[in-house]
Chain A
Amino acid sequence: MSLSISHLVVLVPLLPLLGAIATVLLGRRLGPRAHLPALAGIGAAAAVAALVLLGTAADVRGGHGEPSRPVEVITTLWNWATVADAGVADTASGTPLGGAATATAPFSIPVSLRVDPLTATLLVIITGVGLLVAIYSIGYMHGDPGYPRFFALVAMFVFSMSMLVAASNFLLVYVFWEAVGACSYLLIGFWYSKPQAARAAKKAFLVNRVGDFGLAIATFLLWMTYGTLDFHDTYTADGTIVPGILGQTRLSDAAGYVGGAVGTAICLLMLLAACGKSAQVPLHVWLPDAMEGPTPASALIHAATMVTAGVYLVTRSAPLFIGCPGALTVVSIVGATTALVAALIATVQNDLKRVLAYSTISQLGYMFAALGTGTMLGFTAAIFHLVTHAFFKALLFLGAGSVMHAMGGVIDMRRFGGLRQLMPVTALTFVIGAAALAGVVPFAGFFSKDEILAALHSKAHPAAHASDHAEVRVAGGALPDAAAGPFRAASYRSDAAPRGAAGDAVGLDALDRPATFQWLYWMSLFTAGLTAFYTFRAVFMTFTGPLRVPEEAGHHAHESPREMTGPLMVLAVLSAGAGLVLFVTDALGRFLAATPSLSAPAIVATAVPHAFHLDLAIQGTLAAAIGIAVAAIGHYGRRSDSATTARWLGPLGPILANTFYFDALYRVAIVKPLEALALVAALVDRYVVDAAVDAIGRVPGTWGAVARRLQSGLLQRYALAGVVGVLAIVLALAWQLRP
């Protein structure tokens, strides 16, 4: 099976890429059928991704050992570049890990794809949601002049995102990290003639650069520290092993990862990158503006897939983070803060898509909060939430798109209402998605959010959960040698201590205390209530009450076509059922535990038996119920539009309405000084550089102006000039030949 998986995984990115190329080449000729190549490519990729998932699942089940045997399949396509003798600089902080990465190790960048449970899961989500969004777009984008361009970009995005999660090398991750950013930029600015869209695209691009900068520096540091950028181990011809950063060899080594200042720096830089891509505070400002793009693109990129790249990156690098508890806690703090801040802002938004955008930021914050616990439960909960969130947030966005399509582009919730009479399918599916987001009992969001809360709670109250995993706790996170046996090749010397090994703590580590997580837990719980409130506020404002339709709607005011409602229904079923199925069977949790990154001893040590925490579930449900009730009361008593809300909120109102003044702060602190600098540079360019160039350019002109006067048109003046020249020559000769 693994052989076929190694072949199939190549097809997953390849097919959308071919679809994108075909769309670019044939788009104009296909006209209204321009979606066909992209759709075929993504659809085939989705089917292949499902096969990959099934194959990987079979592999995981095949290993009956407990804890789960790590499963990974590496396919090296070709070697992108090899830099001979690219030595690792012998910095003051120590020597590279092991004997393999010596000072003259060649630096090679293999283009290799990997399949492990994490990648397989995400590939299915990316291609599956991508397929549904593409089908939906046939109806939504119908008649748009950029129809082929849209599908080419969507297919291109699916390719890039698949490569991002399938790449087995930090440099490739960086490349496709940028590629998805580029696709995002192009799709946000899809309607580039609209100034807001162009500005939003630019903003997204620039804010993401801050994060990308972090990833670049983190990559450099990784190379400096570990001497390779590969995730996996490489077996060289002479039988030695070059241990990859996330390879089995290093994972099974207790001292395999660098902690201390360097490790924390790497982790924090990766967190910066994740903050940029996943729109976490303080780099979240681009995502709400990104709603200027077409709604299907928002659903696919800015809700379901691309924005979860940060979650993927942190999960993939889990072993690195485990060694730096301080950085890990920062991940949690950033996540919980983002969740709360975004949820608060969402409560006062009147733009349906912006509510959903802030909700996305908030839910991503949840995932980060879970990741920051650094436990097996936390990581699996984050990915679980990622999966369910992809379903229900894509559903909500597509539902919002359906509403927008019917309302003729109007998305302000104050201008329409009672749409359930007009669009029953959209209303029903939207309510299901909202229930899932709010965490209503049987729907998907309830279970994933419950797991996140459980993960936070177990960090906040270790004593209460001690009984859960006392039997598997191993001091220092070191596993018996037997577990790592097969990977301990003779040539790999583990005695070389990595720099800054576990011992030296960083000041940041002091944050890793139960008290911190108690705060984070209560923040998250409050956020859960807020989530329910703003979600159902949107539902009530849009779908209940008397029917109101803005005049822009015109003849569009009806239920959307089948291409659009079909994906809605599929996603609604997934949003409703996926959480329950995955939670009850614990299939996802056990599956993900076989991911190499999560098989580090320190993480395996935190694994707890799968359990349903009734007390936490009651707390979460209570919060959701209160939120929905407040929304209902607010909506039915007095309309929950801005005037009434402002009166309730009092001084908090302006702060929320201005989104905590983030944009204003950036404008004053960053944009304005940079603009001033740019102005200075522009002036220097115009009046110094340009002036110098112009002056040089004027020199021949001036000479010409002088010499031009010689051309008098008088033949005899020319002859005279010639004679004077002859005379000069004769004089010179006479002078030379003087006696």
Chain B
Amino acid sequence: MDPATVPAPSGLLLAASVAMLAAALWLLLPKSSDTLASRRLGILLGALALVGFAATGRSLGSVGENGVFLTVSAVALVSGLATVVTRSPVYAAIWFAMALAGVAGVLLTLGAQFLGVATIVVYAGAILVMFLFVLMLAQPSGMAPYDRVTNEPMLAASAGAVLLGLLSMSIGRLSAIEPPACCRMPSRADAIASGSAAPVSPEAGDEVARLGAELFGRHLFSVEVAGILLLVALVGAIAVVSRGEAAAESGREAA
């Protein structure tokens, strides 16, 4: 499948998609004049924008492949949109978990099995739970006022949509901006092309094993540094908590 054979989407479609996405975001973001109709219109426009952006993509050949990819990416994007626009932070967190599932699906589709699973385990299993703990600790009863209004929704939605449009345009023209050979990092693909490295075997288990070998071989030092970083973050968080509590209490006493 040569990308050059697939016709690039027209600029008009892209512009329409950007405008619809901006409008959808603006309509869906929490604000005082929310009505059910405006939310529905927002959902409709968002769906249309999703379709528009999907049209800038490429066909993957078989219907099955297309279907799987479209499904997981739609789950990821729709859940992401819902994370952003949902008023209740708890629901937002749950939508985020959904988005993570979609992302994991995309990663699996791409053939990164380890990362797909790790995302679920680390993010949904650890980080997100931590968020929920904090929410339970800190969330006041009822809907907080700051969850019901947003900051500069029009401008932010436009900026985000325009940025997405620009990125889509660039991605669509990807074949035109392949970097010249001199500026490319020597990659395994080049090595394979030049015959100096064996082609990667497609077996799944092999993929994970190779990633592990890469991590603990070439990138061992970085892994150790990342481990130390984790330790430092842990110690730092504990230190801040204990000191902050003391300060808060003394502040309360002084008050």
Contact = CB atoms under 8 A, between A and B. Distances in A.
Contacts of B162: 727
Contacts of B169: 734
Interface in A656-683: none
A700 B78 CA distance: 49
A726 B156 CA distance: 13
Interface string B149-177: 00110011001101100110110010011
Contact of B166 (A723, A724, A730, A739): A730
Given A714-B151, A739-B173, A739-B176, A720 B159 contact: yes
A720 B151 CA distance: 10
Contacts of B159: 720, 723-724, 727
Q: Which 10 A-B pairs rank lowest in CB-CB distance, beginning with the nearest? A: A716-B151, A723-B159, A730-B166, A734-B166, A727-B159, A727-B163, A720-B152, A739-B176, A720-B156, A724-B159
A693 interface: no
A734 B162 CA distance: 12
Contacts of B156: 720, 723
B152 A717 contact: yes
A716 B155 CA distance: 12
Given A724-B159, A727-B159, A739-B173, A717 B166 contact: no
Interface of B: 151-152, 155-156, 159-160, 162-163, 166-167, 169-170, 173, 176-177
A716 to B, nearest CB: 4
B222 to A, nearest CB: 28
Interface in A713-739: 714, 716-717, 720, 723-724, 726-727, 730-731, 734, 737, 739
B253 to A, nearest CB: 27
Nearest to B173: A739
Contacts of A739: 173, 176
B93 to A, nearest CB: 20
Contacts of A730: 163, 166-167
A664 B211 CA distance: 106
A723 B166 CA distance: 14
Contacts of B176: 739
A720 B155 contact: yes
A716 B160 CA distance: 14
Given A724-B155, A731-B166, 12 more contacts: A714-B151, A717-B151, A720-B152, A723-B156, A723-B159, A724-B159, A727-B159, A730-B163, A734-B166, A734-B169, A737-B177, A739-B176
Interface in A560-598: none
A203 B114 CA distance: 99
A349 B25 CA distance: 102
Contacts of A714: 151
Contacts of A726: 163
Contacts of A723: 156, 159-160, 163
A731 B173 CA distance: 15
A737 B178 CA distance: 12
Contacts of A720: 151-152, 155-156, 159
Interface string A686-730: 000000000000000000000000000010110010011011001
Interface in A403-417: none
A715 to B, nearest CB: 9
Interface string A503-516: 00000000000000
Nearest to A730: B166
A566 to B, nearest CB: 80
A734 B170 contact: yes
A717 B155 CA distance: 10
A333 to B, nearest CB: 93
A731 B162 CA distance: 9
A651 to B, nearest CB: 91
Contacts of A734: 166, 169-170
A724 B155 CA distance: 9
Nearest to B162: A727
A446 B36 CA distance: 127
A702 B173 CA distance: 46
A727 B167 CA distance: 11
A734 B173 CA distance: 11
A739 B163 CA distance: 19
Nearest to A715: B151
B28 to A, nearest CB: 18
Nearest to B150: A716
Residue of A717, A731, A734 with most partner-chain B CB within 10 A: A734
A730 B165 CA distance: 11
A716 B166 contact: no
A716 B151 CA distance: 7
B198 to A, nearest CB: 36
Contacts of A724: 155, 159
B144 to A, nearest CB: 16
A714 B149 CA distance: 14
14 contacts: A716-B151, A716-B152, A720-B155, A720-B159, A723-B156, A724-B155, A726-B163, A727-B159, A730-B163, A731-B166, A734-B166, A734-B169, A737-B177, A739-B173
A734 B167 CA distance: 9
Contacts of B173: 737, 739
B31 to A, nearest CB: 15
A723 B162 CA distance: 11
Contacts of B155: 720, 724
A739 B175 CA distance: 11
Nearest to A737: B177
Contacts of B163: 723, 726-727, 730
Nearest to B8: A739
B3 to A, nearest CB: 14
B166 to A, nearest CB: 5
Contacts of B151: 714, 716-717, 720
A726 B166 CA distance: 12
